Amino acid sequence: MKVKIGITGQEGFVGQHLYNTIGLFPEEFERIPYHIDYFKDQEKLEEFVSQCDVIVHLAAMNRHNDAEVLYSTNINLVKQLIAALEKSNSKAHVLFSSSSQEERDNLYGRSKKEGRELLVNWASKAGGVFTGLVIPNVFGPFGHPYYNSFIATFSHQLTHSEQPKIEVDGEVKLIYVGELVEVILNEIRSKKSNPLFVIPHTSVNKVSEILTLLESYKQQYFLGGIIPQLNSKFELNLFNTFRCYIDIKNHNPVQFVQHTDPRGSFVEVIRLSIGGQVSFSTTIPGITRGNHYHTRKIERFAVIKGKALIQLRRIGTNEVLDFYLDGNEPSYVDMPIWYTHNIKNIGEEELYTNFWINEFYDPADADTYFEEV
């Protein structure tokens, strides 16, 4: 039997990543549709709750000019959820996203701590299963600048001709959103209560250290097309986060510099401070390759001869981005993570394409998920 999972706050930063990752396990999980308006209609909320074996409660207000509004909003969301659980006699496994600010003297931290305690009491009375997740600072692709993370803000600023400013250069304990989602899925699979689960951070860095890395990504990659040296999993995750803030509509395709003489032309396809593998393909007219996406890999498609259409679509959205490339003016497109992509020969001759990816292909861990653009 598939485990039926509903996510309140599915439209948010962590919610989108959790929803999309659950979709990678169709034999194990079923996603129950959720909409933000359910908390405005108690009957719809009850109907949603009644369908779920697992509810991950992420819906919350993180920032507001009036702390009292923030506090009351978060507490009321928990109370509405509990009312729906009680009305539907649910025995669901509820996972609640709390914060490392629980112990701080602020109303946001209080709203999280008290909300978690309310759900502990519900589980005790109803015989439900409850997990209280105390989460460190989260970063990753598609977070909202000036809201979710200073990394989102810095990355947006550096790719939009702005200069980041450090307010306080303290040490920050961080977890990548993909790592957080993995923890949540493991807790779901455990089917065990854990009223206070303090999720460990996976990296500790000073704000200035992170900004220095992001500025190097701007100089090397954004402005120079060079894949930087990535010395750890954290740096890979940070680089992939940075890449998603580039305005890919206007950035792509990126033209190569051609060096031409009487013998012909010479083009540097890629400069690397990192390993990986390079592949070459020929594609006959009318044929499309790809229609898949990656969650961690860095990939470049470089058209050397012929005419190609490269298409990208972010998972969970409908907008398709079209990029036309011509071997007469060699160019490339890099694939952001969580974007399904393809390449089609739209010319009348064979298409020649170079592919680079940052890790060797491993069929046991391919990080390749098929979905039509």
Question: Phi-psi category of 367—alpha, beta or left, where left has phi over 0 and alpha has psi -120 to 50?
Answer: left
Please tell me whether the peptide bond between 253 and the residue prior to it is cis, using omega within 30 degrees of 0.
yes
Query: Dihedral (C-alpha) 38, 34, 146, 105: value to the nearest 10 degrees?
Result: 60
Of 84, 108, 135, which residue is a domain's last? 135
Residue 230 lies in a domain: no
Q: How far is CA 60 from CA 31, 77, 136, 162, 174, in A?
A: 20, 7, 16, 30, 20
Residue 263 lies in a domain: yes
Phi, psi for 164 (deg, rounded to 5): -65, 150
Please give the structure tokens belonging to residue 228: 């930087």
Residue 221 lies in a domain: no
Q: Which pLDDT does position 66 carry in this prediction?
A: 87
* Domain total in the chain: 2
Residue 199 lies in a domain: no
The residue behind tokens 């690397």 is 272
pLDDT tens track for 71-117: 999 999 999 999 999 999 999 999 999 998 888 878 999 999 999 99
Of 135, 152, 175, which residue is a domain's last? 135
pLDDT tens track for 187-209: 999 999 999 999 999 999 999 99
The residue behind tokens 């229609």 is 291
Q: Are 268 and 178 in contact (CB under 8 A)?
A: no
Of 135, 165, 185, which residue is a domain's last? 135
Residue 307 lies in a domain: yes
Residue 180 lies in a domain: no
Task: Give the whole-angstrom CA distance, residue 367 versus residue 334.
Answer: 16
Q: Which pLDDT does position 238 carry in this prediction?
A: 98
pLDDT tens track for 219-244: 999 999 999 999 999 999 999 999 99
Contacting residues for 339 by C-beta, under 8 A, at least 6 apart: 293, 312, 313, 314, 315
Per-residue burial over 203-240, b = 16 or more CB atoms within 10 Å of its CB, e = otherwise:
bebebeebbebbebbbebbbeebbbbebeeebbbbbbb
In this structure, what CATH number is given to the domain that contains residue 87? Answer: 3.40.50.720
Q: Which pLDDT does position 189 carry in this prediction?
A: 97
Which domain range does residue 56 map to? 3-135
Residue 272 lies in a domain: yes
Residue 122 lies in a domain: yes
The residue behind tokens 């990208």 is 312
In this structure, what CATH number is given to the domain that contains residue 322? Answer: 2.60.120.10
Q: Which pLDDT does position 62 carry in this prediction?
A: 83
Query: How many CA atoms, within 13 angstroms, populate the side-chain half-sphere of residue 42?
Result: 13
Q: Is the pLDDT of residue 267 over 90?
A: no
What is the pTM assigned to this prediction? 0.94
